[in-house]
Structure 1
Amino acid sequence: MSCLLNSEERKLIVKICKLYYFESWTQEKIAVKFGISRPAVSKLLQKARDESIVEILIHDDRLETSDLEKEIETAFDLRQVLVVPTRDLNQDLIYSTVGKATSQFVLKSMKQTERIGVSWGTTLFHMVKEFPFEQKENLKIIPLVGGMGNDKTEIHSNQIAYELSKKMGVKCESLYAPAVVETELLRDQLVQLPYIASVLEEGKQIDMALVGIGNPFAMSTMEQIGYLSQDVLQELKSLHAVADINSRFIDQNGELCKHPINEKVIGIELEHLKTVKMVIGIAVGLHKIDSILAALKGKYVHVLITDELTASSLVARLKENHLTVSSS
């Protein structure tokens, strides 16, 4: 209830509030300074709020992001969507912020997990970079797709598996093969080699998978590394390909594209990915909207982690297309 304050009392309250809210002084320290009791300080702080001398405003990004999460979860019957607040951040900070949020989510979700499979890409690189050093036991990291060469080695599946295993002090495997080879025959020969076959077999037994969702036509890592020629890109475009998961290409409905490149990949197949208990898909950027939609329609992931602007645009697209129920 409001009451009139004389100028001296108001001046005292302002001084106390500045020390308490700006200088982080304790009520006990303030009480000693002004020669009053701690309960008296508490009453004056309360009076400051009652008289609107102090207004407490909490900016909670979660209120907005939780609505986005719920809409996407409902539309695709997902276990969870994590929308990371990234408003006003530049591109580098968005990747590192999403990477940190992903690492925290993975840490919380890995109870009773014995094998984690990792794909490759920029988002996963940042997830591992932000991953805290936390000792684990009875855990193994498995690369889900091959990756060799000298370009962008830091985002290859083998390197991501290795760096993640170091953060947790656990073992990892290495898949010593390219992600994509020249012919189906060569692929068939390589996957029969014992040291490759054993890792691929372990990939089928993982409890959790961490996969990026790529767009083959915009900022494509596979194109930058040289796995995709312009001819192949044109062919994929004619087949309505919009996304790649674990180096395999899917169309806007989430169906595997009938293109020879999908038969030349050395890595876990998407049908095997669907048998994993928990698949976490991570995607950042507006150029990934169609790619994310395709991955969700194909039911390749149980959990989606993305940035705020991408999630907002995704929800806008859902409303535009009246997608409010789980896709069949």
Structure 2
Amino acid sequence: MVNWEEQRQLVKIATLYHYEDWTQEQIAKKFGISRPIVSKLLHRAKDQGMVEVYIKNENVHTVNLERKLEEHFHLREAVVVPSPAPNLERVTNAVGRAGAHYLSKKIKSINSLGISWGNTLAELVKEFPYVIKDDIQVVPLEGGMGRKRADIHANQLAYELAKKMNGTCSYLYAPAIVETKELKDRLMQMSDINDVIEEGKQVDTALISLGTPYQHSTLQSVGYLQEQDVEQLKEAGVVGEIGFRFYDRNGTPIHHSLEKEYIGVALEDIKKIDEVIGIVAGSHKVESVLAALKEGYVNVLVIDDQTASKLISEIE
């Protein structure tokens, strides 16, 4: 029985070969596999009844969305996940599972991995398989935030992911937000904190989630944002956030007073990381995702099909 991830790869390869006129050599390079394997997969797609004169599989819808996202935003890869139901919790789990599968395919080539915080990334870590990658270093991309939901903080996710790979992780023993510049300066003078932030800037791959402070906001649920704060962010033109860092509809960072003093890897530095994988669940995040894609914060996107469809409708 071919599982969903295998079906998706078969349909995507068949689409590139039969509809986009890619050569087997080009497909092999894109997926990091050999040309003979591409040939075997094309034959397998036919054997599975996916390819006749046309591509026949339910995944063709999501693959078409992937191709449009990749082409318009110049992404290395888009993974569009069928929404299991109009239920955010189930969608979050499906996207996290797909993100875990994508990461597991790439993990052999990753030496250092940065990770942010949030519910979707927590699902990814939970779904990630146990593999041996004992030379990997996992680094939190920002400090912690309060005492609520410590299970979705970057430090905890870095620890859990490293444990699954028998790798090592760093810990950022600092809050994500501090009240004054003087306190931030004192904390940044501590090598245990400054060194981890520098490690975060140097990772070759990063896992981030894209959020909004307005609907289904984790920042609100953990008590970081109050109603008056949300109104201030709207007035400032904020449409999204990545790990407590706010940005406007063009993806430009907004250094709002609510941020106080931030401790972690800045948005400007995230853009310099070689591969940044954005994990997104929920169509309420469309404006946030669109802005992040415009600014180039991510070059790999794992997203549910309803949100992907709304993104496509915004750009067509």
TM over 0.5: yes
Say if 2:179 is the partner of 1:151.
no
Corresponding position of 2:106: 109
2:273 pairs with 271, 276, 280, which one? 276
Q: 1:61 to 1:263 in 2, by over 3 A?
A: farther
What is the Cα deviation at residue 178 of structure 1?
A: 1.1
Q: 1:232 to 1:189 in 2, by over 3 A?
A: farther
Corresponding position of 2:137: 140
What is the Cα deviation at residue 290 of structure 1?
A: 0.3
2:57 pairs with 50, 57, 60, which one? 60
Corresponding position of 1:243: 240
CA displacement, residues 158-210 of structure 1 (integer Å, 9 cap, x when unaligned): 11101111111111111111111122322222122121111111111101000
CA displacement, residues 80-106 of structure 1 (integer Å, 9 cap, x when unaligned): 111012243643322222111101101
Corresponding position of 2:118: 121
Q: How does 1:132-211 map to 2 (within 5 A)?
A: 132-211=129-208
Give, in whole Å, the separation in 2 of the partners of 1:313 and 1:235. Answer: 27
Say if 2:63 is the partner of 1:74.
no
Contiguous gaps of at least 5 residues in structure 2: 1-54
Q: Is the 8 A contact 1:82 1:304 kept in 2?
A: yes
What is the Cα deviation at residue 139 of structure 1?
A: 0.4
Greater mean deviation of Cα atoms: 275-284 or 144-153: 144-153
Q: Output the amino acid matched with 2:265.
A: I
Say if 2:213 is the partner of 1:216.
yes
Q: Is the 8 A contact 1:116 1:210 kept in 2?
A: yes
What is the Cα deviation at residue 314 of structure 1?
A: 1.4
What is the Cα deviation at residue 262 of structure 1?
A: 4.2
Considering only CA atoms, is the larger Rg found in Structure 1 or Structure 2?
1
Task: For residue 61 of structure 1, give the secondary structure of its aligned residue in structure 2.
Answer: coil
What is the Cα deviation at residue 110 of structure 1?
A: 2.6
| Count of aligned pairs between the two proteins | 262
C-alpha RMSD of the superposition: 1.6
What is the Cα deviation at residue 107 of structure 1?
A: 1.4
Q: Is the 8 A contact 1:87 1:308 kept in 2?
A: no
1:311 pairs with 300, 308, 311, which one? 308
1:98 pairs with 91, 95, 99, which one? 95
Q: Is the 8 A contact 2:292 2:298 kept in 1?
A: yes
Task: For residue 131 of structure 2, give the secondary structure of its aligned residue in structure 1.
Answer: coil
Greater mean deviation of Cα atoms: 308-317 or 247-256: 308-317
CA displacement, residues 237-277 of structure 1 (integer Å, 9 cap, x when unaligned): 11210100121000001001142344511110111111111
Give, in whole Å, the separation in 1 of the partners of 2:89 and 2:259. Answer: 31
Task: For residue 304 of structure 1, give the secondary structure of its aligned residue in structure 2.
Answer: strand
Task: For residue 177 of structure 2, give the secondary structure of its aligned residue in structure 1.
Answer: coil
Q: Output the amino acid matched with 1:269.
A: A
What is the Cα deviation at residue 72 of structure 1?
A: 1.4
Greater mean deviation of Cα atoms: 179-188 or 279-288: 179-188
Q: 1:188 to 1:228 in 2, by over 3 A?
A: farther
Q: Is the 8 A contact 1:148 1:176 kept in 2?
A: no
What is the Cα deviation at residue 219 of structure 1?
A: 1.5
Corresponding position of 1:228: 225
CA displacement, residues 7-33 of structure 1 (integer Å, 9 cap, x when unaligned): xxxxxxxxxxxxxxxxxxxxxxxxxxx
Q: Is the 8 A contact 1:242 1:291 kept in 2?
A: yes
Give, in whole Å, the separation in 2 of the partners of 1:272 and 1:156. Answer: 20
Q: Output the amino acid matched with 1:288.
A: K
Structure 1 stretches of 4+ with a deviation exceeding 6 A read none
Q: TM-score, normalised by structure 2?
A: 0.79
